[in-house]
Amino acid sequence: MNKKRIAYIVGTIVLIIIIAYSYFNSNSDKDISLTAKVVKGTFLNEVFISGEAQSTSSKKINGPSNARRFNIYQIKIQDLVAEGTIVKKGDYIGKLDASEVNGKINEAQLNLEKAQSRFTQQQLDTTLTLKQERNSIKDLLFNIEEDSLELERSIYEPPATIRSLENKIEKTARDLKEKKADYSIKKRQANAKMIEVGTEVSKISKRIEELLQLQKEFTIYSDDDGMVTYVKEWNGTKKKVGSTISPWEPAIASLPDLTKMESKTYSNEVDIRKIKKDLPVKVGFDAFPDIELDGIVTDVANVGETKAGSDIKLFQVLIKLNETNNNIRPGMTTSNKILIDKKDDVLMIPLEAIFAKDSISYAYVKSGLSIDKKQVELGPSNNEVVIIYKGLKENDVVYLNKPEDSDDKSITLLK
């Protein structure tokens, strides 16, 4: 037999062995059964939801409070310290765009100059008018005096001449009386006009003072010690340089009280039925895996919200932190374990070990070399295990998948 013939036979034998091994090995894999033991221990039913840390008490850092009085409604943020900056009372926080208030100051200053010019002109006009009136009164007094002297010298003049002088004096006296009355009226008119233009000057001056004070408020300083946190817009984005504030939303940042923190989170429609107020919570932080703080559910929303881009209803849940940690900051992502139920010294098996038929729950239990099909009474469950009230005992071995040729077995019912 030549070498080629021998090599061919050997190769064929090896191939047959490989095929046979693969075939029997694949069949044996099908017969492998996964099992688990019935254990006794503490059952925990927890809901896991992520959230965001926030302070329950914070002081707002607002822009100018009276900008609306001057018809200023939209103010752009021009500068802002970095979020997370630790500040002391009186420290610089940011600056707002003062171009609009500067324009109003310039306009008011021009109006003041015009008003002051009118005031000066009114002063001159008043002075000239009243001077003319006073001179007219003096002239009439002089005429009366002259006519009176002439009357004294005309005692020997004909009666007609004397009567003419008396009439002249009487007429001048009437003119004097009227002129004095006119002077009094014109003086009051002049005073009223002076008050009017003077009031306008004072009003514009006061407006300029208020605008200058408002201008100062466009540079923002901290009212207290704390850590600067940006506030959110109506759409959830945080304010930044270029954002605007208004009289209705004047805050540009806040100083949260880091000793009073909570986790704001949202639960789905299934889990929200389990979550109740005052349930204990373990709060973890993605940024600090080693930190876990105790918390408690303080509020559960009754009405769901629809988030943008989704039709799923979510319900807000607020969790108060019972402890504090210097590393925790608002805006950090939290992982919350809400303890729904806890039972000690109970029997448990994996959920995969429970089967059902005609409303009867049962498990496949190893009994020596055979397998029994036993009815079980179930208790509460979580995402992994279920409590067994009846039907099994500690350390029983149950199957996690359906054993071969077990369909015909009858279920041993509970007594």
SS3 328: coil
pTM: 0.59
Question: How confident is the model over 167-196, as pLDDT tens digits?
Answer: 888 898 898 888 888 888 888 888 888 888
- Give the SS3 label for residue 26: helix
Q: What is the pLDDT of residues 377-391, one digit of tens each?
A: 999 999 899 999 999
Please report which helix (H) or strand (E) contains residue 35, including its range.
strand 35-37
Q: H/E element holding 387?
A: strand 385-390
- Looking at the predicted structure, is the pLDDT value of residue 354 above 60? yes
- Has residue 305 got a pLDDT over 50? yes
Kindly report, residue by residue over 191-246, the tens digit of the pLDDT.
Answer: 888 888 899 999 999 999 999 999 999 999 998 888 898 988 878 788 999 999 99
The Cα–Cα gap between 347 and 398 comes to 13
Which pLDDT score is estimated for 26? Answer: 42
Helix segments in 87-98, DSSP class H: none
- Give 99-130 pLDDT, tens digit per residue: 999 999 999 999 999 999 998 998 888 888 88
Per-residue tokens: 51: 């959230």
